[in-house]
Amino acid sequence: MAELVGIAESIAREAGALLREFYHRGVAAEYKGDVDLVTEADRASEALIVARLSEALPDHGIYGEEGTRQALESEFRWYIDPLDGTTNFAHGFPAFCVILGCERRAPGLAAGEDGEMVAGVIYDPLRDEMFSTERGGGAKLNGKPIHASRTKTLQESLVATGFPSHKRHRSPNVHFYQEFTLRSHGVRRAGSAGLDLAYVACGRLEGFWEFKLNPWDTSAGYLMVEEAGGKITHFDGGKFTLDSREVLATNGLIHAEMQHLFEDLFAGKNIEPIPTPAEFAARRMDETTDK
């Protein structure tokens, strides 16, 4: 699968260069839903990736975030996110990437079943960081092997999450955010699931969780985390699948601890109440008095 990785790296670099040009000159954003942004850069990047993949691998299928659905019955299928972190990109916040993940689908596999992820790349064009992986070949950053961190406890860990853009008022993640903040070394919210998964793979983060991601968000990172020695599942420890609406990825060593915390939170156990405005005011007064 090394050949597939090489092709994907070349295409991701070309798409990344295109995104850099758009980023530095600025682009107008529009909405493709109530709150989901899309830009000219998203569409241009997907068009470039689709064209290059079609030229290099004409018998492969393509499933893209911006609407490409091409030859999905093929043995090999690419999931592409031409610009992961569009909201960041549109606001000039420097955290976004290009994602290409390749799945091999056995003959006769049902439409709703997963094949086997075999290759993937996540490219950060502003830092020129190319994360790559192939099944059985480990994971790399700019050609050098990477491995998940060896931190053993959540208390010592830096973790990350994300928040859905759609129906955010219904998401319970703000409560999970608080609980993990209280129990970890810190929680980061960078706005790019692709980069978050790559950072778990290379040891910059010990864990990452999020609701409501799509196959193009996780395809490359799924394999990358596993090949780097980490673990990725549902919140309850069940097998991760590309259509999973919840993602828990860790270095493997803190996975059980994070999983147990999710079990408690979903059961309503050991939850620290979020202070009311009145309680905040009272604490502020107490701190002022103590000084």
Residue 113's nearest CA partner among 125, 102, 123, 105 is 105
Cite the DSSP H helix spans in the chain.
2-25, 40-56, 86-91, 173-183, 193-202, 215-227, 255-266, 277-290
Cα 78 to chain centroid distance, Å, stands at 16
Rg (CA), the chain: 20
Burial of 207 (0-12, 13-18, 19+ CB in 10 A): buried
Instruction: Centre a 10 Å sphere on the Cβ of residue 208 and count the other Cβ atoms it contains.
Output: 28
State the Cα–Cα distance between residues 70 and 164, nearest whole angstrom.
27
Asked whether residue 59 is marked as a ligand-binding residue, the answer is: no
Q: Where are the beta strands (DSSP E) in 34-141?
A: 37-39, 61-64, 69-70, 76-84, 97-104, 116-124, 129-134, 139-141
Residues whose CB falls within 8 Å of the CB of residue 14, separated by 6 or more in sequence, listed in order: 48, 52
- Residue 103 CA to residue 115 CA, distance in Å, equals 6
Q: Which residues contact 115 (CB under 8 A, 6 or more apart)?
A: 77, 103, 104, 105, 106, 109
The answer to whether 261 is a known ligand-binding residue is: no
Question: Is 217 labelled a binding residue?
Answer: yes
Handedness of CA 168, 171, 176, 178 (dihedral sign): positive
In the annotated binding site, the residues are 65, 81, 83-84, 217
In the annotated binding site for Mg(2+), the residues are 65, 81, 83-84, 217
